[in-house]
Amino acid sequence: MSTAKRATNSRAEKMAEKHVADLQDAGLRITPQRIAILRVLAEAEDHPDVAEIHQRVQGDDPKISIATAYRTVAALEQAGMIHRHTFEGASARFERVNKKHHDHIVDLDTGEIVEFHSDLIEQLQADIAAALGYELVHHRLELYCRKRPQTP
Ligand SMILES: [Zn+2]
């Protein structure tokens, strides 16, 4: 086995240990299905829906049914481990909560979800809340966009 391969394995093992610890912290029973779905979402660079999550866990365990995927995602969501996004015109999409805070742009033509972060917007939202006598607890911001025509 090459060193690179071994490094990959140990990283995968560390991630699995982290998923187990996170499940324990959330007070959830540790099941292979939950670990598999957390792995998929930790590795996802997009925001998969349940059908996509189900497809991606097949490598871990082809016996995980779509019904189990729905149930498992619901349990992880209820425990606050994953976020459900209901972007307009799309099925519910999911991502891990322990990613760095970001907001989303939804491409109306392709359905692509683009992540962004703006200190200016973060500050502005806190300022608006404060001006109205509130403390900002959290927020979600979605920009529905279309690519501008490229000018040569
Ligand atoms: Zn995101």
How many angstroms is it from 1 CA to the middle of ligand 1?
Answer: 35
Q: At residue 152, does pLDDT exceed 80?
A: no
Q: What is the pLDDT of residue 7?
A: 58
Whether 39 and 109 share a structural domain: no
Tokens of residue 5, six digits: 């391969």
Q: At residue 151, does pLDDT exceed 90?
A: no
Whether 74 and 127 share a structural domain: no
CB 40 within 8 A of CB 54: no
How many angstroms is it from 92 CA to the middle of ligand 1?
Answer: 13
Distance CA 28, CA 77 (A): 11
pTM for this one?
Answer: 0.80
Q: At residue 75, does pLDDT exceed 70?
A: yes
Whether 65 and 33 share a structural domain: yes
Residues near ion ligand 1 (CB < 5 Å) are 95, 115
For the chain, the C-alpha Rg in angstroms (whole number) is 18
Whether 2 and 44 share a structural domain: yes
Whether 41 and 20 share a structural domain: yes
Count: domains in the chain: 2
End position of a domain, from candidates 61, 81, 97 = 97
Q: What is the pLDDT of residue 10?
A: 82
Residue reference for tokens 């209901």: 86
How many angstroms is it from 44 CA to the middle of ligand 1?
Answer: 10
Q: What is the pLDDT of residue 37?
A: 95
Whether 40 and 113 share a structural domain: no
pLDDT in tens, 76-133: 999 999 999 999 888 899 999 877 889 999 999 998 999 999 999 999 999 999 999 9
How many angstroms is it from 104 CA to the middle of ligand 1?
Answer: 6
Distance CA 38, CA 40 (A): 5
Distance CA 145, CA 106 (A): 6
pLDDT in tens, 45-65: 899 999 999 999 998 889 999
pLDDT in tens, 2-44: 455 555 668 878 888 899 999 999 999 999 999 999 999 999 9
Q: What is the CATH number of the domain that holds 131?
A: 3.30.1490.190
Distance CA 134, CA 152 (A): 47
Q: What is the pLDDT of residue 8?
A: 61
Whether 76 and 142 share a structural domain: no
Domain that holds residue 37: 1-97
Q: What is the pLDDT of residue 1?
A: 47
CB 15 within 8 A of CB 42: yes
Q: What is the pLDDT of residue 150?
A: 86
Whether 15 and 37 share a structural domain: yes
Whether 39 and 84 share a structural domain: yes
How many angstroms is it from 99 CA to the middle of ligand 1?
Answer: 8
Tokens of residue 92, six digits: 């519910």
Whether 22 and 90 share a structural domain: yes
Query: In Å, how far are 22, 92, 123, 126, 130 from 133, measured between CA atoms?
Result: 35, 33, 15, 10, 5
CB 96 within 8 A of CB 55: no
Whether 114 and 134 share a structural domain: yes
Q: Is 27 left (phi over 0), alpha (psi -120 to 50) or beta?
A: left
